Amino acid sequence: MAIKLNIPKSTRTGKGGRVFLARDPVVRVALTVFIVLATAGGGLFTYFYVTYDRIIERRFKGPVFSNSARIYAIPHAVRVGEKIDSNEIAAQLRRACYS
């Protein structure tokens, strides 16, 4: 058995049979404010996203773990009576990336 549904057409239609949702000025203002704030928020988010993405990419392009591996290497023991000067100790520390 076929069922027929009668769907009433809206009486508030504009050109081409389209319904105007924002005829009320309060709705228009609220919609405009929402669109402006959403666009500004999206632009601000995009700006900071791109800025910090560039910072992170620049840091990761260089050596990430090369300096930290030298810090935990086997230490060089200096014993009492060993003849070592300060320039040699400074050179070893520079090779281990200490400043």
pLDDT tens-digit profile of 31-90?
Answer: 999 999 999 999 999 999 999 999 999 988 877 666 565 566 677 788 888 888 889 888
pTM above 0.85, yes or no: no
Per-residue pLDDT at 67? 59
Residue 13 backbone dihedrals phi, psi, to 5 degrees: -115, 150
In terms of Cβ atoms closer than 10 Å to its own Cβ (0-12, 13-18, 19+), residue 54 is exposed
pLDDT band at 2 (very low <50, low <70, confident <90, very high): confident
In a domain, 60, yes or no: yes
What total number of domains does the chain contain? 1
The residue range of the domain holding 63 is 20-74+86-95
Cα 87 to chain centroid, rounded: 45
In a domain, 39, yes or no: yes
pLDDT band at 10 (very low <50, low <70, confident <90, very high): low
Per-residue pLDDT at 27? 87
In a domain, 79, yes or no: no
Residue 13 β-bridge partners: 19
- Report the distance separating Cα 28 and Cα 24, nearest Å: 6
In a domain, 52, yes or no: yes
In a domain, 8, yes or no: no
